[in-house]
Amino acid sequence: MRALRLAWRLSGFLAALTILLVPHLLLFFVPVLRHVVPLLFFRFMVWLLGVQIDVTGPLPRRGSLIVSNHVSWFDIMIIGALMPLSFIAKSEVKAWPFFGHLARLHHSVFVNRRIGRHTLKERAQLAARLHRGDSLVLFAEGTSSHGLRVLPFKSSLFSAIEYLNNEILHDAPNRQDKAPVSVQAMTLAYTRRHHIAMGRRQRMAYGWVGDMTLLPHFFFMLAGPPLTVEIIFHPPLENVAQLSRKQMA
């Protein structure tokens, strides 16, 4: 059964890549499609793998920074299937096979996490995207985990938001078009297979962690049974403009 699922889903995945080649080429001429094409691809992959997404909580408004835990490369497809948004990714992702190309197609913001704090250029890029209404997703743990608990958030990853909100407060405190960036936490968990709750060991299998290579985990996901992923949107942080990066984390 797993072999049949793998063959069927791998065929569907390759077919989707081929079909999406045409709209991908259109992005050079119709930039508005930059969110539509990845959204359609992610929703197709969620359907193909038999994934049910259960969402609770208030959905983020446009121009929000969505802060999430991180379990697997498949998180990107799960979250990306919900609504038009982009991801804040480490600069190394650009060199990854397939996912680097998909990240560029999805108009991701690439930042250098090794330096600890974002550069002025990266801050300006984040500001421009958020102020024009683009929602961005930040995996604030700085790495992926088995998903059994949330790792401590890296406060350095919030430095750009702290900088932007301080700039807004000092330079344009009364301008409605320069409201502080909304920061909203999101929890993601792989919880059920065949609608039956998974135990700790089963849930850990979905984590893409440490030195695990992509291809075996990719095939594991393709061959797996129907899956339920739970997403909880928590209320946005209050008085975020008065919070430091450490307080936000």
pLDDT value of position 167 = 66
> For residue 166, what is the DSSP state?
H
Q: Does 168 have pLDDT greater than 70?
A: no
Phi and psi at residue 122, to the nearest 5°: -65, -40
- Total domains, the chain: 1
Q: Does 5 have pLDDT greater than 60?
A: yes
Give the rounded distance of the alpha carbon of 57 from its chain centre: 17
Confidence class of residue 232 from pLDDT cuts 50, 70 and 90?
A: very high
Q: In which domain, by residue range, is 188 found?
A: 2-248
Q: Does 176 have pLDDT greater than 80?
A: no
| Residue 103 DSSP SS3 | helix
Q: Which residues are within 8 A (CB) of 165 and not within 5 positions of it... i.e. 6 or more apart?
A: 180, 181, 240, 241
**For the segment 42-76, what is each residue's pLDDT rounded down to a tens digit?**
999 999 999 999 999 999 988 889 999 999 989 99
Residue 123 CB: number of other CB atoms within 10 A? Answer: 19
pLDDT value of position 178 = 61
Q: What is the mean pLDDT of the chain?
A: 81
**For the segment 7-48, what is each residue's pLDDT rounded down to a tens digit?**
888 888 888 877 776 666 666 566 566 677 788 889 999 999
Q: What angle, 0 to 180 degrees and rounded to 10, lies between the N-to-C axes of helices 2-19 and 36-48? A: 170
Residue 240 CB: number of other CB atoms within 10 A? Answer: 18
Q: Which residues are within 8 A (CB) of 164 and not within 5 positions of it... i.e. 6 or more apart?
A: 123, 126, 127, 130, 181
Q: Does 244 have pLDDT greater than 90?
A: no
109 strand-pairing partners: 88
